[in-house]
Amino acid sequence: MPPAAPQVFISYSHKDEEWKDRLDTQLQVLGHQGILDTWNDRRIEFGSDWEPEIEAAMQRAKAAVLLISADSLTSKFILSKEVPVLLERREKEGVKILPVIVRPCPWQMVPWLAKLQCRPKDGHPLSGGTDHQIEADLDAIAREIGALLK
């Protein structure tokens, strides 16, 4: 049996679910090749205790994609539960933290985020592009994540 593909944890505000779905579709191309496995909270089974499921997924992750918007940067759960764990794992274990700016917001004013290299290029939000440009940016992000995990 081949080894399990590295897991990519996707952190997002539910208000950005469309962006999570669009990125996940691109990443699933790599998933079908056994390069990675994505995880987001929609994989939690009906009736399961959701918080321990999220905590376990963060611990398994080799990389975490943070979909950045004003909603994610004001989410108490993301800021108090997800970000601290992921930043600690980055520091201690080398987990890749991969911020993707999905909608305009003052992310450069957030100290822990401002020092991280964001995508799309130059931190321009995905939402500002045409449909073609958005898909091209998501494709590039997916390829970059795949290359990081190889």
The string of pLDDT tens digits covering residues 7-64 is 999 999 999 999 999 999 999 999 999 999 999 888 777 777 888 888 999 999 999 9
Q: What is the reported pLDDT for 1?
A: 43
Q: b/e map of 45-59 (b: 16 or more CB within 10 Å)?
A: eeeeeeeeebeebbe
7-149: CATH superfamily: Toll/interleukin-1 receptor homology (TIR) domain (3.40.50.10140)
Domain boundaries, the chain: 7-149
DSSP state of 81: I
State the angle between helix axes of 50-60 and 83-93 in degrees (0 to 180), rounded to the nearest 10: 20
d(CA 70, CA 26): 23
Residues 59-115: tens digit of each pLDDT: 999 999 999 999 999 999 999 999 999 999 999 999 999 999 999 999 999 999 999
What's the Cα-to-Cα distance from 3 to each of 47, 75, 92, 146, rounded to whole Å? 29, 35, 24, 16
Asked whether the predicted pLDDT for residue 122 surpasses 90, the reply is: no
